[in-house]
Amino acid sequence: MTAPALAIEGLRKSFGKLEVLRGIDLALDEHEVVCLIGASGSGKSTLLRCVNLLEPIDEGRILLRGEDITAPGIDVNRVRRGIGIVFQAFNLFPHMSVLENVTLAPRKALGLSKEEAVARADELLARFGLSDKRDEYPDRLSGGQQQRVAIVRALAMQPGLLLLDEVTSALDPELVAEVLNVIRELAAEGMTMLIATHEMGFARDVAHRVCFLDEGVILEQGPPEAIFAAPQEPRTRQFLQRIVEAGRL
Amino acid sequence: MSTAVFVTVVALSVSNAPGWPDVKQAFFDREVFDDSFPAILEAFLVNVRIFLVAEVFILVLALGLAVLRSLPGPVFFPLRLLATVYADIFRGIPTILVIYILGFGVTALQLPGVPNSPLFWGTVALVVVYTAYVSEVYRAGIESVHPSQEAAARSLGLTRFQALRFVVLPQAVRRVIPPLLNDFIGLQKDTALVALLGVVEAFRQSQIEVAATFNYTPYLATALLFVLITVPLARFTDWLTARDRKRQQAGRLA
């Protein structure tokens, strides 16, 4: 039996006195898409940042294809090269053109030549309909375009795992679809993804499994049909009820 | 049009004021100006040289100091402390005192292997003082770059140094160009302080001319030279800032 793409075991994380993650166990198979849902502050973003080693963890461990990436002395840069993350606020580099944003890490972190990096970037930009934006600066792009560039920037590293942190939350409603379509396409291609999202319709569509996070633990998980149609936990029902009332499901 | 009227009115009221002939004679004597200007201009090249040499060192050293101060974690505490103490001390001591200490004090030691000229030590003093100021400017720039930028860079697998070099510093430096220029202007003016060590630069030369003629026009001539060099510097920065803004908005590669 091969190791899962990602295994999180007993993960705990506090900020000062506030314990944000209180024992998370979660495993993702290769090509699996898992959506994390839950109220703001339930720990979704923190969990993703821990997986990408942007936050040091307090307890537990995280294994990437069997390798403990939270072990002391691990080369964090090497680990991060294999894990892409896309943020809610895009975080493109404003002083660089789209092309430079996408080629920076492949050139500097992977050591690709400029030609190789540009070829790789052009191919990805073309695939996601961004070729005509390659020489633009980020502030000239719409939010949806910026977020697609951020996804392309992560993909240019050819990661084996993609983390998406509420990637549509900062977008105007009419721009959400273009970003979600990109993610659907990646899911169809078999990209392993861990997605924190408020888009329940999208989660129902794209996820193989949905995890409901509540106060730092995974309270309930299962196939989307089960979670959305017949949630077992009262807290899950309550959360989904509020989402329905807000007209988001 | 309004500007022309305003200037004319001011010019007329000044030149018609009682006492203007005396002022004109003491400060705006054409003959004294023509006699003293060539020598002052030549001496002014010393100021420009001090400025240019000092500026190169300041820009590099201050950046290094600012980077030291921005290093995170307890490991780098001694370096951060050192950089902080340096900045505090040399921003606290009057420039003129540093010039005296280095220009007279150190040269008096007759250290082997280092130049003993007042010009050298005067320039070093300016570098020492302005590095402290400019490092603060850089540091403000580094701190103004949102941490999410570094997080984005690190998340792509770039090292801390690469994130600093390619993502944080380029944004930081762009943002502090106007305040950096302010310090450039301050430095250009403070090159006159090196005169205190006996270096004959523009200010010193004008003192010599004033002493010879009992007329203050040479001071005005020197002032004019300083203004002539600092004003274009200011306009150049405005232009740089505007160009940068336009380039990012136009979305074109330069």
pLDDT in tens, B140-149: 999 999 999 9
Q: In the predicted model, what is the mean pLDDT of residues B88-116?
A: 87
- What span, in angstroms and rounded, lies between the C-alpha atoms of A120 and A129? 14
**Min Cα–Cα distance to chain A from B107, Å:** 46
Partner B contacted by A52 (CB < 8 A)? yes
**B interface mutation test: which of A46, A52, A93, A157 has the most B CBs within 10 A?**
A93
Chain segment A123-135, per-residue pLDDT in tens: 999 999 999 999 9
pLDDT under 70: residue ranges of chain A: 1, 248-249
Quick one: pLDDT at residue B253? 41
The helix/strand/coil state of A14 is: strand
What count of Cα atoms within 13 Å lies in the side-chain half-sphere of residue A122? 6
Q: Is residue B143 part of a domain?
A: yes
Quick one: pLDDT at residue B250? 58
Q: Cβ–Cβ of A77/B158 closer than 8 Å?
A: yes
Q: Cβ–Cβ of A105/B158 closer than 8 Å?
A: yes
Longest dimension (CA), chain B: 74
The tally of domains found in chain B comes to 1
User: What does the H/E/C string look like for A39-74?
Assistant: CCCCCHHHHHHHHCCCCCCCEEEEEECCEECCCCCC
- What span, in angstroms and rounded, lies between the C-alpha atoms of A132 and A121? 13
Partner A contacted by B1 (CB < 8 A)? no
Q: Is residue B222 part of a domain?
A: no
Write down the mean pLDDT value for chain B.
88
Strands A83-86 and A161-165, sheet pairing: parallel
Chain segment B161-185, per-residue pLDDT in tens: 999 999 999 999 988 988 888 888 8
Give the CATH number for residue B147.
Answer: 1.10.3720.10
Q: Is residue B68 part of a domain?
A: yes
Quick one: pLDDT at residue B254? 35
Q: Cβ–Cβ of B162/A52 closer than 8 Å?
A: no
- What span, in angstroms and rounded, lies between the C-alpha atoms of B191 and B201? 8
**Min Cα–Cα distance to chain A from B160, Å:** 9
What count of Cα atoms within 13 Å lies in the side-chain half-sphere of residue B9? 6
**Min Cα–Cα distance to chain A from B85, Å:** 30
Q: Which of A66, A65, A68 is nearest to A11 (CA)?
A: A68
B149, B171 in Cβ contact below 8 A? Answer: yes
Determine the structural domain holding residue B88 and report its residue range.
47-204
- What span, in angstroms and rounded, lies between the C-alpha atoms of A223 and B124? 71
Quick one: pLDDT at residue B26? 81
Query: pTM for this one?
Result: 0.84
Quick one: pLDDT at residue B252? 43
Q: Is residue B170 part of a domain?
A: yes
Q: Is residue B212 part of a domain?
A: no
The token pair at A175 is 């721009």
Partner A contacted by B171 (CB < 8 A)? yes
Q: Which of B51, B25, B24 is nearest to B202 (CA)?
A: B51
Q: Is residue B30 part of a domain?
A: no
A200, A248 in Cβ contact below 8 A? Answer: yes
Per the DSSP assignment, residues forming a β-bridge with A27 are A7
**Min Cα–Cα distance to chain A from B137, Å:** 19
B-facing residues of A in 75-104 (CB < 8 A) are 77-78, 80-85, 87, 89, 91-95, 97, 104
Q: Is residue B103 part of a domain?
A: yes
Q: Cβ–Cβ of B251/A105 closer than 8 Å?
A: no
Q: Which of A24, A72, A61 is nearest to A212 (CA)?
A: A24
Chain segment B212-238, per-residue pLDDT in tens: 888 888 899 899 999 998 888 888 878
Q: Is residue B135 part of a domain?
A: yes
